[in-house]
């Protein structure tokens, strides 16, 4: 009976990775409470779960949810994906990023603490490492280069503080480069997949940063979600885990798989040539491994390409305008690493 189902909360559950988290939880017969303001998420991302009442959507902003809210009552796990992303907007609106990604996290932590949630799993970001040595281990020095990276790291630190002071069981998963179906289709200039897929639909050349030889540790969103469930179910507590495929792929190879022409745009300061997660710890502790190959993942995305039909169509000119703040504020930092 549905009343016997374990309950999980997914913040940002109508968004990209969050909706894949809902998928994984439903496969495990969880009752899922989604909280998502729908600023970046889509209610349609949850529609495929049907009308059996196993998934409910709360449209509030996480910053407005009181710690004694009924949302938290009886929940076994809380998976915290909600927040705002992207580099450039964080440079232009740092207060908004700190309020949402830090204080919004604190509100979710306090709600989880008061409700006795068994495990809080925080979606952290590998951007905390800055221009990292690769492959990157969890003990790599922290060097946040811009407000988004700082806000995500401080959210993680808050989570560990709630574990230390209040005994809330917490694990953090530092995501490297997630991709897959349902990735964001609107808003600021951001992740390469959304940009490229819209360009492919329009028959336009792919805007490749630099010479395209840079590599990213791409991991399909369903594999990301499985890792988060493993981080909830493990007996390990108070741990940070790096999450990637452990097998970086070049942007040029992505273009080859997608098929099409490309045009080169200037390399940006503060962007690493390679992101590469050392996944030895998560493999050892959580017995997790990626299932979907990069080639299979790209094919899956292309098969669902119509999802990006209404996404912004970026050109070299609009990208230059959108990233002007990036060059302005991070330029000197980039020279230091040249």
What's the Cα-to-Cα distance from 283 to each of 227, 239, 243, 287, 312, rounded to whole Å?
Answer: 10, 13, 10, 5, 37
Q: Where are the beta strands (DSSP E) in 21-118?
A: 31-35, 55-58, 77-80
Q: Which two tokens stand for residue 144?
A: 């946040």
The 3-state DSSP composition of the chain as helix, strand, coil percent (nearest 5) reads 45, 15, 40
Q: Among 148, 153, 189, 241, which one carries the catalytic annotation?
A: 148
Q: For residue 141, with 0-12 CB atoms within 10 Å meaning exposed, 13-18 middle and 19 or more buried, which class applies?
A: exposed
User: Counting beta carbons within 10 angstroms of the beta carbon of residue 174, is it exposed (0 to 12), middle (13 to 18) or buried (19 or more)?
Assistant: buried
Which run of H or E residues covers position 209? strand 206-209
Q: List the one residue out of 114, 106, 137, 117 whose CA is nearest residue 241.
A: 137
Q: Is 189 a catalytic residue?
A: no
| CA–CA gap between residue 123 and residue 113 (Å, rounded) | 17
Report residue 231: phi and psi, to 5°.
-70, -25
Phi and psi torsions of 211, nearest 5°: -95, 0
Closest Cα partner for 268 from 150, 146, 176?
Answer: 146
Catalytic residue annotation: 148
């Amino acid at each position: 009976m549905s009343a016997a189902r374990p309950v999980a909360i997914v913040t940002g559950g109508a968004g990209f990775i969050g909706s894949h988290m809902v998928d994984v939880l439903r496969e495990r017969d969880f009752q899922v409470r989604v909280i998502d303001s729908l600023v970046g998420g889509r209610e349609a991302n949850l529609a495929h779960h049907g009308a059996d009442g196993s998934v409910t959507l709360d449209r509030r902003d996480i910053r407005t949810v009181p710690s004694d809210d009924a949302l938290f009552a009886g929940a076994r796990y809380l998976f915290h994906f909600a927040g705002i992303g992207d580099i450039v907007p964080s440079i232009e609106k740092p207060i908004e990023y700190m309020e949402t990604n830090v204080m919004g996290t604190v509100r979710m932590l306090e709600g989880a603490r008061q409700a006795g949630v068994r495990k809080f799993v925080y979606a952290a970001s590998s951007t905390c490492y800055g221009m990292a040595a690769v492959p990157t281990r969890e003990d790599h020095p922290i060097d946040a280069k811009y407000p988004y990276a700082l806000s995500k790291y401080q959210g993680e630190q808050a989570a560990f503080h709630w574990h230390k002071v209040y005994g809330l069981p917490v694990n953090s998963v530092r995501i490297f480069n997630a991709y897959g179906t349902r990735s964001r289709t609107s808003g600021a200039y951001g992740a390469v997949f959304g940009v490229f897929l819209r360009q492919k639909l329009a028959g336009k050349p792919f805007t490749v940063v630099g010479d395209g030889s840079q590599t990213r540790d791409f991991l399909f969103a369903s594999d990301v979600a499985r890792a988060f469930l493993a981080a909830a179910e493990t007996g390990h507590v108070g741990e940070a885990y790096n999450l990637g495929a452990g097998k970086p792929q070049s942007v040029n190879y992505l273009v080859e798989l997608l098929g099409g022409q490309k045009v080169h745009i200037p390399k940006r300061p503060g962007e690493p040539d390679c992101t590469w997660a050392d996944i030895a710890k998560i493999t050892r502790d959580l017995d997790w491994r990626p299932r979907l190959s990069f080639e299979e993942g790209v094919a899956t995305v292309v098969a669902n390409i119509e999802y990006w039909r209404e996404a912004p169509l970026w050109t070299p000119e609009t990208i230059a305008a959108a990233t002007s703040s990036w060059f302005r504020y991070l330029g000197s930092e980039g020279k230091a690493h040249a």
